[in-house]
Amino acid sequence: MEAEIREVTLKIDDKEVKAKEGTSILQAAKTMGIDIPTLCYHKALSTFGSCRLCSVEIIDKTGRKRIVTSCNYPVQEGLTVYTKSEKVIKTRRVLLDLLLSRCPKVPKIKELALEYGVQAPSFSVANENEDCILCGLCTRVCGELVGAHAIDFAKSGVEREVTAPYHEFSNDCIGCGACALICPTNSRRLRINTYPVLEEDAKKINDQFLKGTFDENLGVSSGMFGAKTNIKGQDGGMATALLVSGMQRGLFDSAIVVQRTEGYNAEAVVAENVDDIVKAKGTKYLRVHMLSLLTDLVAKGKRKIALVGTPCEVRGARKIQQALLGEHPDLQLTIIGLFCFEAFNHDELKEAAQKLMNIDIDSVDKTQITKGKFIATINGTDHTISVRELSAAQTHGCEFCDDLTNKFADISVGSVGTPDSFSTVIVRSDIGSKLLEGLEYTKLDVNKEELIKIATFKKSRAKKNFAKIVPSEIPSQPSVASCSPTAKS
Ligand SMILES: Cc1cc2nc3c(=O)[nH]c(=O)nc-3n(C[C@H](O)[C@H](O)[C@H](O)COP(=O)(O)OP(=O)(O)OC[C@H]3O[C@@H](n4cnc5c(N)ncnc54)[C@H](O)[C@@H]3O)c2cc1C
Ligand code: SF4
Ligand code: SF4
Ligand code: FES
């Protein structure tokens, strides 16, 4: 039986209010329409209590008066709270003075400070370009909500900062942009070794690397068609055929591809010849990190590199390319992007497959997701289950990813929109067009309606999740049944 949640009665700004035990003073004040300023609080995340801006004055049952942070102080029977007493205003003024001395140029801090009568910082300014107030909203949204755990605090004292592990380009970031969206100061730091792609970032990538007509759902493209090659790949074998042809024609000398390792597990490897490329054909429905391989190759002096990846990896690859081009203007990156609706975590997929399908995922010869079904083929026998039933094994973060067709690739390859054993191809840049030159394949039209339907479904799923962080108008959701991932027309 569920324990009954008791209500307590307290007074906020001389008005009595009832609130559920366990709620914070901040939440109780909100129900009364009392505005308390906050910087590190978000209702969708755990409380952190670092900015202290939500300070209020309380008098407890023993008559003791003190200042507490209202976002994490629980309501209590008989508590008296003042949200705008002289002491409260003075406390917030000192805090904003300190925040302004840390981030003197940040508009939001300047605005709040001015509200409390602080025109200029009275403490010394260590770095006038600092724009992070260490509120931890980004680290919490990435860990608690998105589930990527790409960033955290590092160092201590005055050196404390938010960063990806070891200050290296993150392998875990999926480039969803949640951290940047929630950041109250729009800190540049979040764009150093992680890859949030918000609208302005997307525009920069499109302008710098892509060419064609822009479509809100499918991105930039200069051509779209269905194709079947003589390679027996996952679908029409286009990804492998493009890589083979590109390497044979010297467009790149190294290609980052994904090979199975033990069982169904997979890892990114560098293919330096056609055999290695062909060995990697076939989809492994896992999220495979590959960005450290890209930076390693550049560090080793490689300048003509190809990469095949899911949209999250490609978002990161583009941001890394932008960051490295200054130092290495001769870097030529060819990106073959795979469509992706979701990926799985190997261990969780293994457990789910054993329990729900009675198979060992490590013994599969091939997996395919089509028409909302996950099909595992073992020794010629197909074992089928609805993708939805495997949702617990889905990689964390996919629910925040809004790109089906790999919008930032030079050329995208998937299966939605074409019949079985055909690839759907979207050309997005001169590099993509060049890759196609001389390639032999059977061509047909794409069912664009089907493609747009699933692309918008994925987009609206992400938008709905983002609404937990940034309130926005949620579009009406297309029904899942009519939008089975990777549905073949
Ligand atoms: C996790 C995931 C989810 C996908 N979801 C969809 C979907 O919802 N709808 C859709 O139309 N298509 C989806 N695809 C793409 C589709 O499964 C095929 O990969 C694509 O159509 C290319 O087929 P092909 O015959 O041209 O590939 P092939 O010629 O067989 O080549 C496949 C290439 O993919 C690479 N690869 C395999 N696994 C991975 C991986 N995990 N990460 C990065 N690269 C990998 C290999 O290195 C190889 O180069 C998904 C792919 C992945 C990896
Ligand atoms: S972009 Fe998304 S995944 Fe990357 S650090 Fe920010 S919240 Fe985490
Ligand atoms: S849906 Fe695909 S592209 Fe997006 S985060 Fe998941 S694995 Fe990456
Ligand atoms: S909002 Fe309460 S401490 Fe920051």
> Mind listing the domains of the chain with CATH numbers?
1-127 (3.10.20.740), 137-191 (no CATH), 219-343+395-473 (3.40.640)
What local confidence, expressed as pLDDT, does residue 5 receive? 81
How deeply is 460 buried, as exposed, middle or buried, from its count of CB atoms within 10 A (0-12, 13-18, 19+)? middle
User: How confident is the model over 308-352, as pLDDT tens digits?
Assistant: 999 999 999 999 999 999 999 999 999 999 999 999 999 999 999
Distance CA(135)–CA(351), nearest Å, equals: 38
Check whether 32 has a pLDDT greater than 70: yes
pLDDT band at 473 (very low <50, low <70, confident <90, very high): very low
Going by CA atoms, what residue is nearest to atom 6 of ligand 3? 398
CA–CA distances in Å: residue 221 to residues 110, 211, 334:
42, 7, 16
Least Cα distance to 134 among 184, 175, 91, 68 occurs for 184
CA–CA distances in Å: residue 450 to residues 418, 424, 454:
9, 12, 6
What local confidence, expressed as pLDDT, does residue 470 receive? 82
User: How confident is the model over 38-73, as pLDDT tens digits?
Assistant: 999 999 999 999 999 999 999 998 999 999 999 999
What local confidence, expressed as pLDDT, does residue 1 receive? 52
DSSP assignment of 317-366 equals HHHHHHHHHTT-TT-EEEEEEEP-S--B-HHHHHHHHHHHH---GGG-SE
Angle at which helix 86-102 crosses helix 107-115, to 10 degrees, equals 150
Q: Which residues pair with 19 in a beta bridge?
A: 8
Taking the C-alpha atoms of 90, 93, 98 and 104 in order, what is their torsion angle to the nearest 10 degrees? -170
Nearest-ligand number for the alpha carbon of 394: 3
Ligand 1 atom nearest the C-alpha of 308 is: 44
User: How confident is the model over 407-445, as pLDDT tens digits?
Assistant: 999 999 999 999 999 999 999 999 999 999 999 999 999
Taking the C-alpha atoms of 430, 434, 435 and 439 in order, what is their torsion angle to the nearest 10 degrees? 140
Global pTM reads 0.93
Strands (E), 77-191: 80-82, 152-154, 161-163
Residue with tokens 């202290």: 52
Instruction: Report the residue count for the chain.
Output: 489
More confident residue, 270 or 473: 270
CA of 241 to the centre of ligand 1 (A): 13
282: its two tokens: 């076939």
214: its two tokens: 């822009």
Provide mean pLDDT across the span 223-227: 98
Residue with tokens 């910087």: 39
Q: Does ligand 2 lie within 6 Å of residue 150's CB atom?
A: yes
Least Cα distance to 328 among 308, 350, 298 occurs for 298
Ligand 4 atom nearest the C-alpha of 52 is: 3
pLDDT band at 475 (very low <50, low <70, confident <90, very high): very low
303: its two tokens: 């300048």
CA of 171 to the centre of ligand 3 (A): 13
Q: Say which residues have a Cβ less than 8 Å from residue 75's Cβ, sequence separation at least 6.
A: 8, 10, 19, 20, 21, 23, 24, 25, 28
Could you tell me if 44 and 32 are in contact, meaning their C-beta atoms sit under 8 angstroms apart?
no
Q: Which residues pair with 376 in a beta bridge?
A: 367, 383
Ligand 1 atom nearest the C-alpha of 285 is: 1
Nearest-ligand number for the alpha carbon of 312: 3
Could you tell me if 404 and 458 are in contact, meaning their C-beta atoms sit under 8 angstroms apart?
yes
Could you tell me if 468 and 43 are in contact, meaning their C-beta atoms sit under 8 angstroms apart?
no
149: left (phi over 0), alpha (psi -120 to 50) or beta: left
Provide mean pLDDT across the span 92-119: 97
Torsion sign over Cα 185, 186, 187, 190: positive
Least Cα distance to 69 among 57, 79, 85 occurs for 57
Q: Does ligand 1 lie within 6 Å of residue 284's CB atom?
A: yes
Distance CA(459)–CA(464), nearest Å, equals: 9
What local confidence, expressed as pLDDT, does residue 479 receive? 36
H helix or E strand, kind and range, residue 188: none
105: its two tokens: 């140029």
Among 258, 342, 465, which residue has the most ligand 3 atoms within 8 Å of its CB, making it the best to mutate?
342
Q: How many CB atoms lie within 10 A of CB 230?
A: 10
Check whether 2 has a pLDDT greater than 80: no
CA of 413 to the centre of ligand 1 (A): 8
Check whether 476 has a pLDDT greater than 60: no
Could you tell me if 393 and 297 are in contact, meaning their C-beta atoms sit under 8 angstroms apart?
no
Q: How many CB atoms lie within 10 A of CB 270?
A: 19
End-to-end CA distance of the chain: 49
The per-residue pLDDT of the chain, averaged, comes to 94
